[in-house]
Amino acid sequence: MSYRRLLLLAFLFNGLLMIGMKAVEELGLSRHIALVLVVQYGVSAILCIPGIVGSRKPATRTDAWVGVVAGLSSAAGMTATLTASTMIPGYMLFPIIQGGTMLAVVIVGRVVFKERVGAYGIAGLCAGVASIILLSK
Amino acid sequence: MATALPIVAILVFAVLGVTYKLSDKFNCDQRYVNLFMFLSAWTVMLAWGLFTGRMDLAWRAVALGATMGSGVYLSVMIFRKACTLGRISTSWTVINLALVVPVAASILIWGEKPDPRHWLGIGLTVVAVLLLGVDIGRAGE
């Protein structure tokens, strides 16, 4: 499959996932957020298994702890997002969370990993902060 | 509460973003990292659901969860494949721009009505994603 088609698919899947988050509230499933996420993570874990079965390379401790930290963050983030979607309109919630996360990762990259942020990056950070301020009011 | 939740989501999703950087830095096997990620998240959500007594069966919730779970898996796999074929900055930007899909759905399907200030905010978010994508691309050159 070509790179462009893969990007289009990635764009659509990611977008549809966020629609799924919004659908939890729209379908009246706010009380079942835990069940939705248990099934979601369970299905994702099961789908991962065929890619690992038969692998000759065993998992390392680093794989495990990075994965566990990612899993705990993902679970907390999804729970917060799904709960927030019952209180905040989708057109505000998704740009705030997606934009805010992006800004936070860039800032952490700069502070912790000493990554360079150029002129475009600084302009992007300013635009991101301005967008969050505008959307939050 | 309504203000605190997005802040919590941003902070913990930022930690998730940092784990992607760490897994790259430590040369982790992404297949195992993903498996551990999904299993640990599954365990925490199951414990939380049982603790709060909110695990009563609802088939629509199961169907939505299964659809989202397949979507998450496919999204992660497609993103990884795209990163091996092209520039990570382009893939990263496109993934982040996907935020326009739920925004469009919120407006067109669910009838939400942003005011002009919110439209400006949505537009600036897209501009921020594009600018940061260009910056990542330049840093990678």
| Cross-chain CB nearest to B82 (options A6, A64, A101) | A6
Mean pLDDT of A129-136: 83
Q: List the one residue out of A10, A83, A94 whose CA is nearest residue B86.
A: A10
Are A77 and A16 in a shared domain?
Answer: yes
Number of compact structural domains in chain A: 2
Give B34 to chain A, closest Cα distance, Å: 6
Are residues A95 and A108 located together in one domain of the fold?
yes
Tokens standing for residue B122 = 């949505």
- List the single residue in B with minimal CA-CA distance to A57: B29
Q: Do both A49 and A38 map to the same domain?
A: yes
A69 with A109, same domain: the answer is no
Together in a domain, A77 and A132: no
If asked whether residues A79 and A111 sit together in one domain, one would say no
Q: Which domain holds residue A24?
A: 1-87
| A21/A36 same-domain check | yes
Q: Are residues A24 and A75 in the same domain?
A: yes
User: In this structure, are A66 and A39 located in the same domain?
Assistant: yes
ipTM, two decimals:
0.88
One domain for residues A70 and A10: yes
Shared-domain flag, residues A16 and A78: yes
Give the residue from chain A lying closest to B21, CA to CA. A109
Q: Along the 141 residues of chain B, how does pLDDT read in single tens digits? A: 667 899 999 999 989 888 888 888 898 988 899 999 999 999 999 999 999 888 888 899 999 999 999 998 988 888 777 777 776 667 777 788 888 888 888 888 888 888 898 899 899 888 888 888 787 776 655
Are A74 and A95 found together in one domain?
no
In a mutational test of the A interface, the residue from B30, B37, B75 whose CB has the highest number of chain A CBs within 10 Å is B37
Collect all residues with Cβ–Cβ distance below 8 Å to A79 and sequence separation of at least 6: A33, A34, A37, B45, B48
